[in-house]
Amino acid sequence: MKTLSKEKQEVIASQMVLKSRDIDMIMMNTLDGTMPKEYVLDGLMFYQASDGGFQGGLYIDNYNTNTSVYQIYEAFRLLYMAGFSSNDIKNEMFFNIVNRACNYLYNRADFNNNKWYANTKTNDDFAHAKIFSFTKENEELLGYHPTAAIFGYTLLFNNPTKAYYKKALKFSEILIDDILNDRVSFNKYEMKSFNIFYKIIKDLGLFSDKINKLEEKLILKAEEIVTDDFLNEECVRPLNVSLYLESEKLNKLKNDELDFIIDNIKSHGLWDHIGTWGYNDYPEEDSAMIKWVGAESVNNYYLLKINGRLD
């Protein structure tokens, strides 16, 4: 089993200072233990809008300065990676970030057919990757992504007495029914959200009467779509769609991808992003690729850490 050496970890730490955004440097320092997780809250405050949502390129491939559901998902994803949960609700800054974001989601954002649409119309007024264009095609393609993940994060970050928790619990029951009855597409976008949703509700001990059937269904669908052409931006990455799912096939592919990550650190000491915006409409894509170096390195370091691949 390949591991990331301490020497390479030291290089990563020094290069992050030079090549990453503040939020990515904070995330890396939190993950490697040199900074308490509470600093992540300060980093996220820079991106939180007056309406409680998130904006301004927190997720790099969308430069919209207005709130979108996908940017809230990205904020919640980073909070999860940093280790936040309802146990931290007494932290005033954490409470305010989550409470304001949930207020936007559950009281202001458009919610139809048990899902939020990830994109917002004003995306088209700013530089963005093709997947963030406000189109019916993208709405259908994204489906339950990132709605399913947001349900999970809502349940994790809020106490059961909160109205947001109760709403998420109700909507999650509908989601599970949709999954078990094949009323979803199970593509790489939806499976990414289903994966973390499954992990969170299992850890919280929720839906115990359905969790085994849900796991079986997600394993089956993940095995059908995963690929191992890791250099291809269209690759359906096992660590994206089945990180918390276990089967012989999936475990082998996940280990292969972890080896690939370790082998593909670039000469500058970090990882480059594998992917493009899908068209050549915006020159800002070049600057986005520079920003992705830090963000991609955080994502890869996290995957190596939680899978025991750090020396």
Rounded to an integer, what distance in angstroms lies between the CA atom of residue 258 and that of residue 298?
14
Give the SS3 label for residue 128.
Answer: strand
Overall size of the chain counted in residues:
311
Contact assessment for residue 172 and residue 207, using Cβ atoms and an 8 Å cutoff:
yes
As averages over each run of 10 residues, the pLDDT of the chain (311 residues) reads 96 96 98 98 97 96 97 98 98 98 97 97 97 97 98 98 98 98 98 98 98 98 97 96 98 98 97 95 95 98 98 97
Give the SS3 label for residue 95.
Answer: helix
Q: Compute how many other C-beta atoms are within 10 angstroms of the C-beta atom of residue 36.
A: 10
Question: What are the start-end ranges of the H helices in the chain?
Answer: 6-19, 22-31, 38-45, 69-82, 92-107, 136-142, 147-157, 163-180, 188-204, 211-225, 238-241, 248-263, 284-306
pLDDT for res 307? 98
Contact assessment for residue 101 and residue 52, using Cβ atoms and an 8 Å cutoff:
yes
Instruction: Specify the amino acid at residue 231.
Output: L
Dihedral pair phi/psi, residue 171, rounded to 5°: -70, -30
Calculate the CA 235 to chain-centre distance.
Answer: 17
Rounded to an integer, what distance in angstroms lies between the CA atom of residue 158 and that of residue 89?
7
**Which pTM was predicted?**
0.98
pLDDT for res 184? 98
List the chain domain ranges: 1-36+264-311
Give me the residue label for tokens 């995330």: 27
Q: Residue 161, exposed/middle/buried by CB under 10 A (0-12, 13-18, 19+)? A: exposed
Rounded to an integer, what distance in angstroms lies between the CA atom of residue 243 and that of residue 220?
14
pLDDT for res 164? 98
pLDDT for res 143? 98
* Longest alpha-carbon distance in the chain: 51
Burial code (b: 16+ CB inside 10 Å, e: under 16) for 103-130 equals bbbbeebebeebbbbbbbeebeebbbbe
β-sheet bridge partners, residue 62:
128
pLDDT for res 302? 98
pLDDT for res 175? 98
